Amino acid sequence: MKTRVLLSALLLTTALSYAQQDAQFTQYMYNTISINPAYAGSRGAMSIFALHRTQWVGLDGAPVTNAVSINTPLNESNLGLGISLINDRIGPTRENTLSADLSYTVPTSETFKLSFGIKATANLFDLDVNKLNPVDDDPSLHDYHNKFSPNIGAGVYYHSDKAYVGLSVPNFIETNRYDDNTVRIFKEKINYYLIAGYVIDLNNFAKFKPALLTKMVEGAPLQVDISGNLLFNDKFVIGVAYRWSAALSAMVGFQVSDALYIGYGYDHETTELNNYNSGSHEVFLRYELFNKNKKMTTPRFF
């Protein structure tokens, strides 16, 4: 028996799932492979990435996300390969998403390349019924323990050392997490992404990069992220971002060495949720292994 109490208990999960279908990252531009498989191998080095995000600190059941990935070009071919794992926890739910990405790049001019990518994903969805405390136990909910669902996605990525634009759909298959035929609690919907950015040389010491991310998904408002980052002396990055009608963010980063980059981001909520949390925190590191003949002389800004 499906109860009203149970539906109320899942209200937070419902709201979060429709507002935030895919795991959300403020500093997505450093881990673009998570939303666009065509990015795999585009940096010309083996890139290892790890991120931890704690969202809406102080709000019970708020999202906590951990992500790790590795992507690399394959020898001297035009192919790139990537593997990523995302663990996303929201309220009584937990998702583990393992993805494999394959890209193919075609030079279109002396400076620009066009990359095509495909993504294959395996998702494990878990609902902890012990956190719901329903008045009347619903036996069907016990079936949502590590529920497996596959998916596929694709993307294109047009880029040079100073500019990029990308279109992608990470998941083409819509999957019902829970559906009682009258009230759909959670459904994985198709997310459409458009990203773009451009690096402007201000002088020999500083570079400025404005960037844009838009995400469209049925049942949720259009998400628009606008950011601007300044890179000083090819070492230190400081920036701000605005997520339309959602949050204002600050970002800092440091190129510790040619191989290692670390970054931190803070989100200040601009909605009524600001009354119930103390913001969101995001920290990441990226480590890159370069071919001896292709060592990076200056860090690429994305």
Residue 244 lies in a domain: no
User: pLDDT by residue (tens digit) across 164-192?
Assistant: 999 999 999 887 665 555 445 556 788 99
pTM greater than 0.75: yes
- The pLDDT assigned to 6 comes to 39
Residue 265 lies in a domain: no
d(CA 69, CA 126): 22
Which helix (H) or strand (E) segment holds residue 229: the answer is: strand 223-232
- The pLDDT assigned to 20 comes to 46
CA atoms within 13 A on the CB side of 265: 27
Residue 40 lies in a domain: yes
Structural domains in the chain (count): 1
Beta strand extents in 21-170 (DSSP E only):
46-54, 64-73, 79-90, 93-107, 113-127, 147-159, 163-169
- The pLDDT assigned to 298 comes to 53
- The pLDDT assigned to 141 comes to 59
Q: Which two tokens stand for residue 285?
A: 């590191």
Residue 295 lies in a domain: no
Residue 76 lies in a domain: yes
CB 199 within 8 A of CB 210: no
Residue 192 lies in a domain: yes
Residue 158 lies in a domain: yes
Task: Domain of residue 80: give its range.
Answer: 24-217
- The pLDDT assigned to 296 comes to 52
For β-strands 175-179 and 236-243, DSSP reports them as unpaired
Residue 164 lies in a domain: yes
CA 93 to chain centre: 18
d(CA 30, CA 33): 9
- The pLDDT assigned to 219 comes to 75
d(CA 233, CA 254): 11
Which helix (H) or strand (E) segment holds residue 13: the answer is: helix 11-19
CB 40 within 8 A of CB 103: yes
Ranges of residues in the chain whose predicted pLDDT is under 70: 1-21, 132-144, 176-187, 291-299
